[in-house]
Amino acid sequence: MAVYFFDSSAIVKHYVQEMGTQWVNSIIDPKAGNEIYLARITGVEVVSALVRRGRDGTISAQDATIALAKFRKDFNGEYQALEMNASVLTRAMSLAEAHALRGYDAVQLAAALEVNDFCLTVGVLTFMLISSDVALNTAATTEGLVVDNPNNH
């Protein structure tokens, strides 16, 4: 089993057709047997992204409504959501300072590091952060995480 942590920029590709969608879908496909983690705040970011795309016409209003419903269903049943607690947020503040990350990117990285720490503790050796955000990916690599960008696929 492989464990993947998706940030918002990557998981949204499962709901909107764009570069990297097919690759993301192959990882998320239940038949692949992967465990998918998201930070709890990812729900807010993805809903915002889908609604904005529906309103600005990048996707149709109907497609936005369908994508929102599918995301909400998946968010509550298919993904493991890491809760935001004092430990994660304190770590995020340190990461924001160390890497000059935007706030939510620092929270995403802190959450990914928490999941990675858990994986190492229980002996799961295959962990990867999936993100389309170059600054986040650079910081994650510096922090020792294995990273892949769906835009490269």
Looking at the chain, the number of H-run helices and the number of E-run strands are 7, 5
Residue 1: its pLDDT value, please? 78
Letter for the amino acid at 1? M
Residue 122: its pLDDT value, please? 95
The total of structural domains in the chain comes to: 1
Residue 125: its pLDDT value, please? 83
Residue 9: its pLDDT value, please? 97
Residue 11: its pLDDT value, please? 98
Name residues of the chain where pLDDT drops below 50. none
Domain that holds residue 134: 3-152
Instruction: State the pTM of this model.
Output: 0.96
Q: Which residue has the tokens 């930070």?
A: 39
Helix, strand, or coil here: 39? strand
CA geometry: angle 100, 104, 81, nearest 5 deg: 135
Give the C-alpha separation, 39 to 101, whole Å. Answer: 16
Angle between helices 134-142 and 86-99 in degrees, nearest 10 = 100
Q: How many Cβ atoms are within 10 Å of 69's Cβ, its own excluded?
A: 12
φ/ψ (deg, to 5) at 145: -85, 150
Q: How many Cβ atoms are within 10 Å of 46's Cβ, its own excluded?
A: 25
φ/ψ (deg, to 5) at 38: -135, 150
Give the C-alpha separation, 80 to 36, whole Å. Answer: 6
What CATH code is carried by the domain that includes residue 93? 3.40.50.1010
Where do the H-state alpha helices sit in the chain?
8-11, 21-28, 42-56, 61-77, 86-99, 103-122, 134-142
Phi-psi region of 14 (alpha: psi -120 to 50; beta: other; left: phi over 0): alpha
